[in-house]
Structure 1
Amino acid sequence: MVSWEYPPVVVGGLGRHVHALAVELAAAGHEVVVLSRQPAGSDAETHPTTDEVRDGVRVLRVAEDPPHLEFERDMVAWTLAMGHGMLRAALTRLGTWRPDVLHAHDWLVAHPAIALADVLEVPLVVTIHATEAGRYAGWLSTPLSRQVHSAEWWLAHRADALITCSAAMRTEVAELYDLDPTRIAVRHNGIAPGGWRADAARVREVRERYAPGEAPVLLYFGRLEYEKGVQDLIAALPRIRRAHPGTRLLVAGTGTAADQLVDAARAHRVLRSVTFTGRLPDADLAAVLRAADAVVLPSRYEPFGIVALEAAAAGAPLVASTAGGLGEVVLDGETGLSFAPGDVAALARAVGGVLADPAAAARRTRAARKRLGSAFDWARIAADTVTVYAGATRGATVELGRPKIPTGNVFG
């Protein structure tokens, strides 16, 4: 597997997906090597390349090369440098070891993954976790967005087998890259429910720390980016507080939209009712999830929504938009309450539905947790992924031209 994130280097859900899948495959008896990187901003003196076995998985973690490149400022150059380091490490450190299949995760590893598949002459399986066009509602209006889109297109067309994490993403990928959807397999994210339990004393402690008192507590957790829709949740908070006085909102996470969200809370006159916690350790997060009266996931774009699984595992009532894969994870009226992305009034009504009827919310929460064991079990997902590996056949090497990128909205 080739991935630009792998614990403890985690940016979003992709890193947790790759880790869980790799560990389950190793537990099932497969020999798994993960090619990944050291933290951004480090170098070979502080974080040298390492080659070690963890949880049954051999992890080759590559040091950053000497050039002063920053992901935020030099994304494409930084990504190419990372790929060069990965390729060099794999070719010089794996010796005579050869895989039966190479599995690449997202466009950031397109260059090393394609090169290694060509050199090793093995099938290339690709999981597309998200798309640039999807993040920006179909607009590729900057040179960077067009560069990322073209790298995604290249990786998708070069793949011998293609995977997405939801049916919604399969439709999106097929449309964006002009592919036959029947050749795209859907393999959901999964979760190990046992890791999200918290004892009652810890739950009381975090509730007192972040939201003392008896008033309702809402929680958003995840990356703070525009497509996550947290601005819509903040916009809905005045309506929610009118119906449920004193309601507080905890926003847990980091991202480029953090400052804008503070400004939004100020503009809607709810800044004193919103606590920005930053990124929480997993133990604290599990307790905060259990302490919340509702977890709200207001995404405008969401390929899957692994945070919904984590909330369900912790036993938190769910309110989520129907964006992308979230509509497949949260079943409206059964495992949570849903609303259309960007609909602030509907968001407020859904949250109100949870707060007004705790007994019904508890029934949905139990149903959500029960569903984790059948629909989102990592052992089953890993076994289903192996069927993709087994069916992948290496095609002839084809030199691809550049994709044509529409000047308007790529979703038409």
Structure 2
Amino acid sequence: MSADLSIPLSDVPAGRPPAVLQVLPALVTGGVERGTVEITQALVQAGWRAVVASAGGGMVREIERAGGTHVTLPLKTKSPFGIRRNIRHLAALIERENIDLVHARSRAPAWSAYFAAKRTGRPFMTTFHNVYGGTGRLKRWYNSIMARGVRVIAISQFVGRAATRTYGVEADRLRVIPRGVDLSRFDPEAVHPSRLVQLATEWQLKDGLPVVMLPGRVTRWKGHVDLLHAAQRLPHRDFQVVFVGNHEQKPAFRDELIRLVKHLGLQGHVQLVGDCRDMAAAFMLADVVVSASTEPEGFGRIAVEAQAMGRPLVATNHGGSRETVMPGVTGWLVPPGDRAALAHAVGEALALTPEARAEMAASARALMARHFDTKLMCQATLEVYTEILFPDAAHEPVAEAALEGALG
């Protein structure tokens, strides 16, 4: 699908910093939201203005602490009436805040942002955070808004191929920029032992028993059922499975998991501990981290965070994990839904010698630093912004200097 290239590029007036508006449904916990905060920080550090529009949420404070401006709008709505109303709200916001570039990160608000940008003559760009499934014509048309940017960022090669194959995003508009992990936050050396003691006490972990951890929302496609069946196949019961993530939104599935634990004879070996605000410490408590998603992850935030923390990782062999995990070097990749293979990989991870574990940890953290550091993601994204707004200066020293602040 071709972008609407009739939208003129903004002519940013001299004497004021360029302003970027990021648009997303809400600022609750999640990868899209985390990326929005990180780009806000990078923009402010580079001397640009960062404005975010969403329906609000707990991460609004992080936007404001980073020096960005948050505007609350009902952008979670998918109703045609609500989308039309949001076009007016966003167009007014663009004019009021002197926005130069509109960056949409999710489909429903992208429709409003696209027409608001078109109405105000600003360039519009998007980020594909996943492959956006759906085979019906109406669903594909709804998803296609993410392919209408003058530039389209894909968070992995996997997502980029889907954007090209399914939605016709041409190579000259597509930019593959992997999601990043904050290596200063996810650093084993930066986690004080008191944080581990606090979490272990809160979760009532049993001393001396290895922890097999699956972080992620408690929802069917994240692979909780497969991990329970894999755990039941392990020859010994000298482990504890810890599911870290919200289990209040899917109470029926949570109760199904509890029944399955009893059916498999795993009582006393499985805990659902809910959300965790200190995932760096949580990873340090894990002897092996599992990402068993049955559907492909667009990128897989858990995989890169776990590897940054030097944890042995077992992930399913599809989606973004194929790009972030080096089998046999930083972790294991197993076929999705293959419970026997998952059990075998978890068993091998638990059996690692201290020397092998240390070698894997060093390799994993080095891989993250080379390819998946948040600073690299921020630098590449700001370069796309510069490419759109200042095409003649995109490769000149003045543009490079303007980006230095984003690199820390």
For normalisation by structure 1, the TM-score amounts to 0.78
1:346 pairs with 312, 331, 341, which one? 341
Q: Is the 2:127–2:146 contact (alpha carbons within 8 Å) kept by the matching residues of 1?
A: no
Residues paired across the two proteins, number? 358
Q: CA deviation at 1:3?
A: 3.1
Q: Is the 2:56–2:72 contact (alpha carbons within 8 Å) kept by the matching residues of 1?
A: yes
1:220-369 correspondence to structure 2 within 5 Å:
220-240=214-234, 242=235, 244-254=236-246, 255-256=249-250, 257-282=253-278, 285-300=279-294, 301-359=296-354, 360-369=356-365
Q: CA deviation at 1:303?
A: 0.4
Task: State the AA in 2 paired with 1:252.
Answer: V
Question: Residues of 1 paired with 2:160 and 2:195: CA distance?
Answer: 40
1:371 pairs with 364, 367, 373, which one? 367
- Report the identity percentage: 27
Partner of 2:5: none
Partner of 2:24: 4
Q: CA deviation at 1:84?
A: 5.1
Question: Residues of 2 paired with 1:191 and 1:14: CA distance?
Answer: 13
Cα separation, partners in 2 of 1:262 and 1:130, compared to 1, 3 Å: farther
Please say which of residues 313-322 and 173-182 is displaced more in the overlay: 173-182
Question: Residues of 2 paired with 1:182 and 1:340: CA distance?
Answer: 34
Q: Is the 1:223–1:253 contact (alpha carbons within 8 Å) kept by the matching residues of 2?
A: yes
SS of residue in 2 equivalent to 1:190 = coil
For normalisation by structure 2, the TM-score amounts to 0.79
Q: Alignment RMSD, CA only?
A: 2.9
Cα separation, partners in 2 of 1:258 and 1:223, compared to 1, 3 Å: same
Q: Does residue 176 of structure 1 match 2:196?
A: no
Q: Deviations over 1:235-275 (max 9, x none)?
A: 101112x2x42211000112534334334333433243210
Question: Residues of 2 paired with 1:148 and 1:16: CA distance?
Answer: 26
Structure 2 spans left out of the alignment, 5+ residues: 1-20, 391-408
Q: Is the 1:126–1:162 contact (alpha carbons within 8 Å) kept by the matching residues of 2?
A: yes
Q: Deviations over 1:104-134 (max 9, x none)?
A: 102121222111210121221110102341x
SS of residue in 2 equivalent to 1:231 = helix
Task: State the AA in 2 paired with 1:189.
Answer: R
Partner of 1:210: 204
Q: Is the 1:2–1:109 contact (alpha carbons within 8 Å) kept by the matching residues of 2?
A: no
Q: Deviations over 1:59-84 (max 9, x none)?
A: 222368xxxxxx7xxx733x863x45
Partner of 2:16: none
Task: State the AA in 2 paired with 1:153.
Answer: S
Please say which of residues 298-307 and 31-40 is displaced more in the overlay: 31-40
Q: Does residue 124 of structure 1 match 2:115?
A: no
SS of residue in 1 equivalent to 2:69 = strand
Cα separation, partners in 2 of 1:105 and 1:80, compared to 1, 3 Å: farther
Q: Is the 2:49–2:68 contact (alpha carbons within 8 Å) kept by the matching residues of 1?
A: yes
Q: CA deviation at 1:90?
A: 3.3
Question: Residues of 2 paired with 1:334 and 1:128: CA distance?
Answer: 29
Q: CA deviation at 1:393?
A: 8.2
Q: CA deviation at 1:94?
A: 5.2
Q: CA deviation at 1:36?
A: 1.5
1:199 pairs with 184, 192, 196, which one? 192
Structure 1 spans left out of the alignment, 5+ residues: 41-48, 65-70, 134-138, 395-412
Task: State the AA in 2 paired with 1:155.
Answer: M
Q: Is the 2:105–2:126 contact (alpha carbons within 8 Å) kept by the matching residues of 1?
A: yes
Q: CA deviation at 1:201?
A: 3.2
SS of residue in 2 equivalent to 1:195 = coil
